[in-house]
Amino acid sequence: MNFKETRGCDGNRASSVTFSQAILSPIASYGGLYVPESLPNLGLEFLQKHLNSSYKTLASNLLAKFEIDIEQSVIDEALSLYDKFDNATNPVPVVKLRENLYVSELYHGPTRAFKDMALQPFGSILSSVAQKRGENYLILAATSGDTGPAALETFKNKKNIKVACMYPANGTSDVQRLQMVTEDASNLKVIGINGNFDDAQSALKNLLGSKSFDEALKAKDISLSAANSVNFGRIIFQIIYHIHNYLELVRQDVIEVGDKVYLNVPSGNFGNVLGAYYARLMGLPVEKLIISSNQNNILTRLIKTGIYDMRDQELILTTSPAMDILKSSNVERVLYDLFGSSRTRELMSDLDEKKIYTLTQDELSKLQEIFVADFCSDEEGRAYIKKSFDEGYLMDPHTATCFKAHESCATKNIPSIIYSTAEWTKFSPVIANAITGESGTKDIVALKSISKTANVKIPAMINELFTKKIVHDTIIEKEDIEKEILKFL
């Protein structure tokens, strides 16, 4: 399988690249992204075949359908990392909450967030490709809280790899920040910026497209890549668990193969739900994809009105900070699939230059055939956390946003899968406030309070964060990011 460019080819790049080329250099012509030239059609036969397959077997067979230019031994080694999750036989449990409502728990990996599902195998593959080529790579990561810890975890001490991770200095939870700033591998650099996630992601994209930065790296014999979901190496692993979740409902006798379901995804940068979108295109029986947003409800407005408007839009800091994003990179891949490269380039140019684009009524209709959306306020989210806790289930504030959209967008006779993207430990002050009313507590105090109230253990990898040495204390203005990274190198 080869990959092509969402905004067309500028003549300076190849119009078609391999998977390994796409993951090593993820930004395409005109600042666009890479997408598969075509997707494999799985059909119901593929689902039937894997009813009794392990997660790793399913993943291996799905990747084989993509025919990526990665050796099977490298893929096998990457997928073996799922053995280190809480349950090696089932790294993604699907839990029943109530009739026709299920939760996919994506957070059972080393950093307790869904980013591990993609970044663990992706990091292994990318570093293997770099070593095989005898090339050195700088991996850039911009994070709203979960990509950073997962990227640092997967790339630490990897040969031929250095990582520069940027995060908003006041835009993550204490646990997320500590997961980053206590990583002590010499090939890692963590940089706090005075700004928000959009600032960090914009800096990442600018550096990926900067000729002067690229020349400075080449002088050091270093090439440039990225760990954000602009990299299709992330997305390909995010397709797998949507198919796994469907099969889990079949195994639990909730549905039969061929029955439709709703997939309800808390959405920020759109990578998670993009995996679901591709799974649907490949034949997974999905009624609608439900986009759940927080008060930064720019995606809800897009799905409902066809207008993506960032003018005079201030980013709101919410209790679900990993979704505090205004410019969702992966929407571009959906635009390309629905409307083609010329229209995508036109729309993205409008967004870059005017901070707004508007779909035609026909284009909006095509979007609404696939997606529905709603957003959830912090207050509503806390109420859902409390109600769910009273019913016996402990969840984080990102998962909570899905309940509002479930009530407004799903029909009761079709099963829904809600995606839980982070463990309760990542956002304990918000959860403690929701279930006990306590406020203003530090993470460690809230963790202990919830542990006692809910009778659950704090995982060791979270508990030990509060006694680890702070290794990275750099906080800079966003204009100084390039200089800081070059100093690190």
pTM of the model: 0.95
Rounded distance, CA 326 to CA 436, Å?
31
Tell me: pLDDT of 144 over 90.
no
Q: Which two tokens stand for residue 204?
A: 């990442």
pLDDT of 138 reads 96
Q: Which two tokens stand for residue 99?
A: 């009739």
Q: Summarize the confidence of residues 217-221 as an average pLDDT.
A: 96
pLDDT of 18 reads 97
pLDDT of 170 reads 86
Contact 55, 91 (CB under 8 A): yes
Tell me: pLDDT of 54 over 90.
yes
Rounded distance, CA 289 to CA 273, Å?
8
Quick: pLDDT tens for 378-421: 999 999 999 999 999 999 999 999 999 999 999 999 999 999 99
Tell me: pLDDT of 83 over 90.
yes
Contact 316, 295 (CB under 8 A): yes
Rounded distance, CA 134 to CA 128, Å?
10
Tell me: pLDDT of 232 over 90.
yes
pLDDT of 404 reads 97
SS3 for 394-445 is CCCHHHHHHHHHHHHHCCCCCCEEEEECECHHHHHHHHHHHHHCCCCCCHHH
Q: Which two tokens stand for residue 347?
A: 């729309």
Q: Which two tokens stand for residue 26?
A: 């993820």
When pLDDT is cut at 50, 70 and 90, the band that residue 167 belongs to is: very high
pLDDT of 171 reads 86
Contact 400, 367 (CB under 8 A): no
pLDDT of 19 reads 97
Rounded distance, CA 418 to CA 104, Å?
6
pLDDT of 205 reads 87
Tell me: pLDDT of 191 over 90.
yes
Name the average pLDDT for the chain. Answer: 96
Tell me: pLDDT of 76 over 90.
yes
pLDDT of 441 reads 87
When pLDDT is cut at 50, 70 and 90, the band that residue 294 belongs to is: very high
3-state secondary structure of 186: coil
Tell me: pLDDT of 84 over 90.
yes
Quick: pLDDT tens for 347-383: 999 999 999 999 999 999 999 999 999 999 999 999 9
Rounded distance, CA 409 to CA 419, Å?
15
Quick: pLDDT tens for 380-392: 999 999 999 999 9
Q: Summarize the confidence of residues 51-65 as an average pLDDT.
A: 97
When pLDDT is cut at 50, 70 and 90, the band that residue 445 belongs to is: very high
Nearest in space to 190 (alpha carbons), one of 206, 214, 168, 212: 168
Query: Following DSSP, what letter does each residue of 447-482 receive, concatenated?
Result: HHHHHHHHT-PPPHHHHGGGGSPP----EE-GGGHH
Q: Which two tokens stand for residue 43?
A: 């059909």
pLDDT of 440 reads 85
Cβ-based neighbours of 53, under 8 Å, separated by 6 or more: 61, 247
pLDDT of 46 reads 97
Rounded distance, CA 316 to CA 186, Å?
35
Helix (H) or strand (E) holding 213: helix 211-218
pLDDT of 48 reads 98
Quick: pLDDT tens for 109-132: 999 999 999 999 999 999 999 999
